[in-house]
């Protein structure tokens, strides 16, 4: 399959050692060229490295807290402005060992629902 024209949004790829960022690197290795990362952590060093190693690829970062629907909607609009469309959404955001169950539900459950609903429009 040719991934060059496909556009991916990876939610939760901000932390250096995150599964999301590891997945972004795997996508680049198979030829994906359009990737947007949504996270509360800015992976700017990783994006610099991506631009050096994969000069044909475009990696965007949008600061998004998945509890905030407005931030999600704005980020998707900006991705569509640049890439024209979103083909694939992958959600890696997860918090564990969080004492406040409300935060776990808002991030792990509702955050996944909000990003998915926005992606399918």
Ligand X SMILES: NC(=O)c1ccc[n+]([C@@H]2O[C@H](COP(=O)([O-])OP(=O)(O)OC[C@H]3O[C@@H](n4cnc5c(N)ncnc54)[C@H](O)[C@@H]3O)[C@@H](O)[C@H]2O)c1
Give me the residues that bind ligand X (CB under 6 A), please.
Answer: 12, 14-15, 17-20, 39-41, 64-67, 92-95, 107
In whole angstroms, how close is the CB of 14 to ligand X at the nearest point? 4
In whole angstroms, how close is the CB of 117 to ligand X at the nearest point? 16
- The answer for residues whose C-beta is within 8 angstroms of residue 101's C-beta and 6 or more apart is none
In whole angstroms, how close is the CB of 84 to ligand X at the nearest point? 24
Distance of CA 120 to the CA centre of its chain: 15
Name which of 41 and 80 has its Cβ closer to ligand X.
Answer: 41
Name which of 39 and 59 has its Cβ closer to ligand X.
Answer: 39
- The answer for residues whose C-beta is within 8 angstroms of residue 53's C-beta and 6 or more apart is 28
Name which of 15 and 69 has its Cβ closer to ligand X.
Answer: 15
């Amino acid at each position: 399959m040719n991934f060059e024209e496909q556009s991916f949004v990876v939610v939760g790829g901000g932390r250096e050692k995150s599964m999301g960022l590891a997945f972004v690197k795997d996508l680049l290795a198979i030829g994906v060229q359009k990737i947007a990362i949504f996270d509360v952590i800015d992976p700017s060093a990783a994006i610099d490295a991506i631009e050096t190693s994969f000069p044909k690829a475009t990696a965007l970062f949008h600061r998004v807290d998945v509890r905030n629907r407005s931030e999600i909607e704005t980020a998707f609009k900006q991705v569509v402005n640049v890439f024209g469309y979103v083909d694939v959404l992958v959600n890696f955001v997860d918090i564990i060992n969080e004492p406040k169950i409300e935060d776990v539900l808002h991030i792990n459950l509702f955050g996944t629902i909000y990003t998915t609903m926005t992606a399918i429009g």
